[in-house]
Amino acid sequence: MLTYKGYIGCLEIDETAGIIFGRILGIQDVVTFKGETVAEAKQAFQDSVDDYLAFCQELEQSPDKPFSGKLPFRTTPEHHRKVYIAATKAGKSINAWMDQVLAHAADEVINSH
């Protein structure tokens, strides 16, 4: 994974073509990049982000943001009740409690690799 200006790029290898390629994740627009080495692919990713932002500015359109901060969430009524109780016991709103718990769980997964 690559990160630049808040955007995330995922790398893949095409052994047949001898290239490393990827695309920006988390946006609806399709933005791709490629290189023959990791360093070239990383630079191409950064260039693609810069080009995408410049292109959006030229069109006077807002670029697609990778993450809005809004996370739609559906669960069962029983889990909803449990979340409410846990948040209340922690003295937090459901949103604040879920943000803390999910961020902690994500950090554990990210840091375990």
- Say what the pLDDT of residue 24 is: 95
Phi-psi region of 60 (alpha: psi -120 to 50; beta: other; left: phi over 0): left
pLDDT digits (tens, 9 = 90+) for 18-52: 999 999 998 989 999 999 999 999 999 999 999 99
Q: How far apart are CA 63 and CA 35, in angstroms?
A: 24
Domain ranges within the chain, ordered by starting residue: 2-58, 77-111
- Say what the pLDDT of residue 113 is: 67
- Say what the pLDDT of residue 112 is: 86
pLDDT digits (tens, 9 = 90+) for 51-77: 999 999 999 999 998 877 888 889 999
39-52: buried (b, 16+ CB within 10 Å) or exposed (e) per residue? eebbebbbebbeeb
